[in-house]
Amino acid sequence: MFPSHTHLPLSPLLPAMKTRMGPGLLLLIFLLPACLAAAGRETPYEKFQRQHVDTSGSWEPDPNRYCNLMMPRRNMTVFNCKDLNSFVHGALAMITAVCGSGGTQHHGNFYYSNSPFQVTDCQTTGASHWPHCVYRGDVHSKRICVACKNGQPVHYARPSVCSGP
Ligand SMILES: *[C@@H]1O[C@H](CO)[C@@H](O)[C@H](O)[C@H]1NC(C)=O
């Protein structure tokens, strides 16, 4: 008599709980892996392009404004303000060629471009506090140093990594 009596008030609640939690749980279960998969689908070469390649022939000429436009646009201010990032201006084929005929192997898989590229270096300023990221930009013409894998650049390195001994 007692056990069935104490269980009775709970049972009408259970179907309601199920239907109310359903959509939220479904969103978590299906969207979370989808987001992780979308992020994981980017290959190292694609990530290099997103972070370091600007193929647009004409770009915002003020380097400060350029960096403050491009760092968010290329998703480098999503989880934090990436401190230092360089954009190489040029055709993808020219930049990719640094891993082959357009570059010289320096050490390991690091290649130094034979010719200079226009490069905008973006660096956070003291006023930068995530999610409000603030950048200072500098444009230089310089040879670039990249790590290559299967003939494709996958990592941008400071030029000094390739210019030293
Ligand atoms: C930035 O992230 C958003 C959301 O994941 C994505 O839709 C967009 O394509 C990304 N932008 C770049 C340049 O990868």
Domains of the chain: 2-39 (no CATH), 44-163 (3.10.130.10)
Is residue 142 predicted with pLDDT exceeding 50? yes
* Token pair in block for residue 117: 């590229």
Residue 129 a catalytic site member: no
Which atom of ligand 1 has the smallest separation from the CA of 75? 1
Q: DSSP state, 17? A: H
C-alpha of residue 152 to centroid of ligand 1, in Å: 22
Q: In this structure, are residues 116 and 141 in contact, taking their beta carbons and an 8 Å threshold?
A: yes
Q: Which residue has the higher pLDDT, 37 or 130?
A: 130
Which atom of ligand 1 has the smallest separation from the CA of 38? 5
Q: What digits encode the pLDDT tens for the residues 19-65? A: 556 444 443 434 445 545 556 689 999 999 999 999 998 889 999 99
- Residue 4 has a pLDDT of 45
Residue 5 a catalytic site member: no
Of 52, 89, 132, 140, the active-site residue reads 52
| Strand pairing class (103-107; 110-113) | antiparallel
Segment of 13-22, 38-47, 122-131 carrying the highest mean pLDDT: 122-131
Average the pLDDT over 102-116 and give the result. Answer: 98
- Residue 58 has a pLDDT of 86
Q: In this structure, are residues 95 and 88 in contact, taking their beta carbons and an 8 Å threshold?
A: yes
Average the pLDDT over 158-164 and give the result. Answer: 93
53, 75, 76, 78: which to mutate for ligand 1, most atoms within 8 A of CB?
75
Ligand 1 pocket (Cβ < 6 Å) reads: 50, 74-75
Residue nearest ligand 1's atom 14 by CA: 74
**DSSP 3-state assignment of 59?**
coil
Average the pLDDT over 6-11 and give the result. Answer: 48
C-alpha of residue 8 to centroid of ligand 1, in Å: 51
C-alpha of residue 74 to centroid of ligand 1, in Å: 7
Question: Of 141, 147, 140, which is closest to residue 106 (Cα–Cα)?
Answer: 147
